[in-house]
Structure 1
Amino acid sequence: MEKIIEESKQGESLVLEQKKENTKKLFIESYGCAMNFSDSEVVASILTNEGFNTTQNLEEADLVLVNTCSIRDKAEQTIRKRLEKYNAVKKINPKMKVGVLGCMAERLKNQFLEEEKIVDLVVGPDAYKDLPSLLQEVDEGRDAINVILSKEETYGDIAPIRLNSNGITAFVSITRGCDNMCTFCVVPFTRGRERSREPQSIIAEIEQLWKSGYKEVTLLGQNVDSYLWYGGGLKKDFVKATDMQKATAVDFAQLLAMTAQAFPKMRFRFSTSNPQDMHEDVFHVIAKHNNVCNHIHLPVQSGSTRVLKEMNRQHTREEYMALIDKIRTILPNCSISQDMITGFPTETEEDHKDTLTLMEYVKYNFGYMYAYSERPGTMAARKMEDDVPEVVKKRRLQEVVDMQQKHSLERSQEFIGQVVEVLIEKESKKSETHWSGSNSQSITVVFPKGDYKIGEFVNVKITDCTSATLKGEAIGYSDMN
């Protein structure tokens, strides 16, 4: 699996509160990363104001949208199958319009609209505000397309409508795009250059969530550590900023501290981090504020400095290990998770062993691991031969997964006998008499319900565990309530 793909959420359709005055029906499905699910909330907000109510009944929809992912071949194949399904329904309901949003829209616009003629509407990640005029084009019988990547668009002025929410936890986007040109990744080409969102609009969105009863927010971006607000514009143009803009700029550590101080009874997480952009200041903010979670997701992709260079990861094995040492020193109770790719072009057995020894050094709490698959449009696809045989990729992946399972169990066992703070999120999947939630380290905890309720912070004494789940007994409320 890959970190940003939440397998349990793939293909979720959006359900919103119905407005009586709205007469049109919208069916919207999301695939891929947390950013896509967050973007679907922005789209829903825009279309609610255009007279649409959401439906889970595909057959009755006037407009069907699928928010897409280009990060893995499997995701693209799934979406193509969904488009076939939509078009089968369209034959029964000819007034239905079909649109593709997100990263695949940007990458495959010509195939979808002109060659295959399977959609009416193609909208890239930066063009959602243009949806009303694009829909008008479709209503007038023309195909509509906007995949232009913006230098400014952050959707900071749109209050998202939360989709399929538990009412407890939410994502808040703080950046869009990415400047890190990792050779295996298509994101810079589908989401554009990196730009940050104005801090006060972030605080305002969190305040609205707090008033609505939410208890935890994840600050979201392709690379949150390089968040930098200096009045607007691209991150790369900061060098041209005025002295005043530079003096008043807000970086990620400052933003994290601002949110933690403004909402002391709300818990904060962040994702995703990039090793070369992560600064010690962030560790000190986590250490200072007990409402900032003790978990850092720190993708590494490979333990070999040579392969990291091929991936254009901009850090070495040794620099990554030094960063881990710093985290362990400043945040001894912090969990660390990883992303790992096996079988990247030119990877040797020696490189693979470097990955396994790095894993032994860190002993990650959990991770997201997958075999390399070539993505069209990436630098690796353009310039490198996919030369590691599939059978070798899969064998190396299994060795990585097996080692992670071993480390996950070891890390889980360290919690036995400890008291951890848990935010109750939902009923346990395996028992209707147990609650399920997460501790500060992003580990799932289950415990008997008692008189506790969803949305409460509870202290739980851990008595048992598996590699992925802690089990215990609640011993009272935490100070966060």
Structure 2
Amino acid sequence: MHNSETKEMMEENRQGEALVIEREGIGKKMYIESYGCQMNFSDSEIVASILQKEGYGTTKNVDEADLVLLNTCSIRDKAEQTVRKRLTNFNKMKRNNPGMKIGVLGCMAERLKDKLLDEEKLVDMVVGPDAYRDLPNLVKELDEGRKAVNVLLSKEETYADVSPVRLGQNGVSAFVSITRGCDNMCTFCVVPFTRGRERSRNPQTILEECIDLAENGYKEITLLGQNVDSFLWYGGGLKKDFEKASDAAKASAVDFAMLLRMVAEAVPGMRIRFSTSNPQDMSDDVLYAIAEYDNICNYIHLPVQSGSSRILKLMNRGHNREEYMGLVDRIKKIIPGCGISHDLITGFPTETEEDHQETLSLMDYVGYDFGYMFYYSERPNTYAERKMEDDIPLEVKKRRLNDIIVKQQALSLANNKKHLGKVVEVLIEGSSKKSDSDWYGRTDFNTVAVFPKGDEKLGDFVKVKIEDCTTATLMGKRIN
């Protein structure tokens, strides 16, 4: 695979494919596409649940939709441009279906509401990620011929009592949101501005949702949050206010390591994953929890963003190179064989060739299984956009990104080759995209594996002996 193709594959993987859903409903039809992080896909399930109670069914055919919704991402400029193109296409379709209404949900909503509604006239409705409960009122406004807007952020909203409608999934794996918002003010990131302050969900509602998924045949859950490691429930309230809480509230507080153990014991037959972690917040207790329970997957997505302590300080990441490497050392000691992946941004303001080489050497040190790699693009209203000059030429950014991709390809292939001749457990998630005669699934350490179909079925855990591999996939045969 050419490097340019690999880069596009990884960029699209991070951006996320459109989530198109179809379920039974009465009355009107809605069509939803989701872009960006897993939180957006999870939010779309909340939106579908709320609108389903209003009589909206869903459709895969946008031409018959009464309401078209795009759940958006602002993390990179490319994601925003993709959404704009889709909105333009939907508006062309609207000419043949004048009753169709178009709405934008999620992270682009607050930042671009005026442009999308009034200047460019691309949408009829704009809804922020904390305002989904208001959708019935907003849809009513649309029905009465008015534009509809609610982008207010909340300090309390977690949608803990909303039962998500599981959409566009395989009936095997599901997302469970445990936190919303983010308190980490990374200088390049828009999330604190688009999703608000960090707050944690009542752990009892999390357990109930996980148990319900297990009873409905799901085999794997991913606990989601912008920063799952900072999960902290103490009877309600923001994490930043914890020190002001009563002694009784502090004594009964639940942190992320405790939550992991609670979920692992509540659904012992399910695999448990989580995303995303921030290195400065990951405690050794979380690592020991992973090691203690067989059903917590030996895999950690651990964004680093840069291998240079100088750049990390400019990014306000809260950790430096040495601290990150120390955490990786502890992961490998406490959880042998743990899969580790990353997020990396190259070309951040003032990044030198020496900084770039430090990133490459960090990749070698960790030996990442895979990662998501991008060159820096300014995001409006972030500290970096307001206070730092985007001074790295585009051709330099692209060249450095290519270096990182080539490095990661080599690391991924080397890691996969280590599994040749070994037996791994695979959870079957579906048919291989390349051949209907093969299954595909993921290992405990989150690597994709494919093998010929036998009498297995979707959702089975099977033992597979690995016989071959590529940079991204393990290939083998099932063994009894």
Query: Would you say 1:399 and 2:403 are equivalent positions?
Result: yes
Choose 300-309 or 138-147, whichever is displaced more: 138-147
Matched ranges for 1:78-477 at <5 A: 78-476=82-480
Q: Hey, what's the Cα distance between the residues in 2 that align with 1:306 and 1:224?
A: 26
Query: Would you say 1:71 and 2:78 are equivalent positions?
Result: no
CA contact (8 A) 1:5 1:33 kept: no
Q: Hey, what's the Cα distance between the residues in 2 that align with 1:3 and 1:236?
A: 35
Q: Hey, what's the Cα distance between the residues in 1 that align with 2:259 and 2:11?
A: 22
> Alignment identity in percent?
65
2:70 is paired with a residue of what secondary structure? strand
Q: Hey, what's the Cα distance between the residues in 1 that align with 2:201 and 2:211?
A: 16
CA contact (8 A) 1:460 1:473 kept: yes
2:479 is paired with a residue of what secondary structure? strand
Q: Hey, what's the Cα distance between the residues in 2 that align with 1:4 and 1:37?
A: 17
Q: Identify if the C-alpha distance between structure 1 residues 430 and 117 changes in structure 2 by more than 3 Å, giving closer, same or farther.
A: closer
- How far did 1:114 drift? 2.2
Choose 201-210 or 303-312, whichever is displaced more: 201-210
Structure 1 residue identity aligned to 2:407:
M
- How far did 1:65 drift? 1.0
CA contact (8 A) 2:16 2:37 kept: no
Task: List alignment gaps of at least 5 residues for structure 1.
Answer: 477-481
- How far did 1:230 drift? 0.6
CA contact (8 A) 2:14 2:372 kept: no
Q: Hey, what's the Cα distance between the residues in 1 that align with 2:475 and 2:445?
A: 14
Structure 1 residue identity aligned to 2:70:
V
Structure 1 residue identity aligned to 2:337:
N
Structure 1-normalised TM-score? 0.96
CA contact (8 A) 1:6 1:34 kept: no
Q: Hey, what's the Cα distance between the residues in 1 that align with 2:377 and 2:100?
A: 35
CA contact (8 A) 1:303 1:354 kept: yes
Structure 2 residue identity aligned to 1:225:
D
Q: Hey, what's the Cα distance between the residues in 2 that align with 1:165 and 1:124?
A: 24
Choose 112-121 or 314-323, whichever is displaced more: 112-121
- 1:479 corresponds in structure 2 to none
Choose 374-383 or 343-352, whichever is displaced more: 374-383
Q: Hey, what's the Cα distance between the residues in 1 that align with 2:16 and 2:80?
A: 16
Q: Hey, what's the Cα distance between the residues in 2 that align with 1:352 and 1:379?
A: 22
Q: Hey, what's the Cα distance between the residues in 1 that align with 2:13 and 2:404?
A: 20
CA contact (8 A) 2:231 2:255 kept: yes
2:95 is paired with a residue of what secondary structure? helix
Q: Hey, what's the Cα distance between the residues in 2 that align with 1:148 and 1:114?
A: 19
Q: Hey, what's the Cα distance between the residues in 2 that align with 1:265 and 1:92?
A: 50
CA contact (8 A) 2:19 2:41 kept: no
CA displacement, residues 9-43 of structure 1 (integer Å, 9 cap, x when unaligned) = 42232212x13xx1111111111111111100000
- How far did 1:3 drift? 8.2
- How far did 1:7 drift? 5.4
Structure 2 residue identity aligned to 1:6:
N
Task: List alignment gaps of at least 5 residues for structure 2.
Answer: 1-6
1:122 is paired with a residue of what secondary structure? strand
- How far did 1:122 drift? 0.7
Query: Would you say 1:56 and 2:60 are equivalent positions?
Result: yes
Structure 1 residue identity aligned to 2:464:
V
Choose 325-334 or 134-143, whichever is displaced more: 134-143
CA displacement, residues 445-468 of structure 1 (integer Å, 9 cap, x when unaligned) = 111212211111111121221111
CA contact (8 A) 2:15 2:37 kept: no
1:161 is paired with a residue of what secondary structure? coil
Q: Hey, what's the Cα distance between the residues in 2 that align with 1:120 and 1:92?
A: 16
Q: Hey, what's the Cα distance between the residues in 2 that align with 1:248 and 1:218?
A: 25
CA displacement, residues 243-274 of structure 1 (integer Å, 9 cap, x when unaligned) = 01111000000000101111111000000000
Alpha-carbon RMSD: 1.4
Structure 2-normalised TM-score? 0.96
1:27 is paired with a residue of what secondary structure? strand
